[in-house]
A and B are shown apart, each in its own frame.
Chain A
């Protein structure tokens, strides 16, 4: 148990960095994903094509390669980004591609009559989205968005390859310094599991809350 006593502060710090990476990237990725979803359903063809290309690139290539391109590749072009911002940037771009598809599905699932009712009273496009469409679209897309959030939390472990000291990297160094790999990685796994269990519970509560109107 001296292993635990020795490594707890580092593990907790790693957990905090993992949470930071996941939460910030999810929030930014949701924002960007919303814009991409709107571009994807726009009537303006170039915008639509740009959105399709974006999703194709970021969903069709490995996250690990994207991270290494940003952190190791960009300095070659004179762009140097510190590890944590580089990780957040990559996770944001990557999750935005997936989330945009979830949002798009949610928006398209909203009944056409909702647009008509809102348009018929002269609401602006922005207002219709914010007040009428998004609240209904998010409810439909919530299970898929929750899945994405959980996947992203686990994906943040890839930040360890660009020297970010998050939960996986802490476990790795704790394991190699003490040769207690099993303990180190099991503890890290429990850390991810706890975060994701909390996310699942939060998602279920949100689904119940948003479902109230439809019961």
Chain B
């Protein structure tokens, strides 16, 4: 199972104005893998994650998800291209730092929107799936509440359930705990650990070192638009190859609860 490629991205370039955010990044994610992306802010890690879901369209490169390839240098939104992009988005669910729940819908409605609108599941079946997922993230008793009534940790757990409801090949998580108080982080991280144990393929941008050490199969360190280092967690944390990673980790362990690190190189 571990050899099946879920994501295969090649030569991703992305520029915002004068700023070259991604400089030819290659990345493969195997089925069942949990990959953590770390790095200073401004290093391009969030942009890379968003490119995998094509929320950000790379200026050049290809993204292949389970055999479906989008060539990002093809501009414009021709029918075929738009269909391919949608196809890839359906297979790659996204969890955002600020949750982005739909505030006008209840918790359960949030979770079943994708299954109903995109996957076109029959309503009773979608509701059944939605309730099962809410049970899994421990929020079934909140099914009829609106997001405004939930704590940050609860909102993020709903967002994770909403992502899983798309039955994705991979879940992409963009700093899922960064806007949470330390007490609320634990409940979200617990849900993610549970997912990892069940073999869910995940790519997680995070600053949570202890969590990364525990669940990651592989850690990518990004700096200045490149993947600078790619290691198993044991090696990454105890014996990183580059001095850049060493100084980053030193800073992080001093300020683990304060993830904003100045980019120095």
Contact = CB atoms under 8 A, between A and B. Distances in A.
Q: Do A and B bind each other?
A: yes
Interface of A: 111, 113-114, 116-124, 127, 131-132, 135-136, 139, 210, 212-215
Given A119-B89, A120-B93, A131 B117 contact: yes
Count class of interface residues, chain B: 20 to 34
Nearest to A130: B117
Interface of B: 53, 55, 86-87, 89-90, 92-94, 96, 98, 100-106, 113-114, 117-118, 146-148, 162, 166
11 contacts: A111-B100, A117-B101, A120-B55, A121-B93, A121-B117, A121-B162, A122-B89, A123-B117, A131-B113, A212-B146, A214-B148
B166 A117 contact: no
Contacts of A215: 148
Contacts of A123: 114, 117-118
B167 to A, nearest CB: 11
Contacts of B166: 121-122
Given A116-B55, A132-B102, A121 B90 contact: yes
Contacts of B101: 117
Contacts of B87: 122
B56 to A, nearest CB: 10
B158 to A, nearest CB: 12
Given A124-B86, A131-B113, A213-B146, 5 more contacts: A113-B100, A119-B55, A121-B114, A127-B118, A213-B147
A30 to B, nearest CB: 19
Contacts of B147: 213
Nearest to B53: A120
B223 to A, nearest CB: 25
Shortest beta-carbon contacts, A-B, top 3: A122-B90, A113-B100, A120-B94
B85 to A, nearest CB: 8
Given A121-B166, A123-B117, A123-B118, A139 B90 contact: no
Given A139-B104, A214-B103, A214-B146, A120 B89 contact: yes
A136 B98 contact: no
> Most chain-A Cβ atoms within 10 A of its Cβ — which of B87, B102, B105?
B102
A74 to B, nearest CB: 39
Nearest to A128: B117
B53 A213 contact: no
B69 to A, nearest CB: 16
Nearest to A111: B100
A120 B51 CA distance: 11
Given A113-B98, A215-B148, A121 B118 contact: yes
Contacts of A212: 146
A121 B100 contact: no
A49 B74 CA distance: 27
B233 to A, nearest CB: 27
A132 B90 CA distance: 17
B140 to A, nearest CB: 19
A40 B1 CA distance: 49
Nearest to A117: B100
A116 B96 contact: yes
B55 A213 contact: no
Contact of A114 (B100, B114, B117, B148): B100
A135 B104 CA distance: 7
A26 B196 CA distance: 54
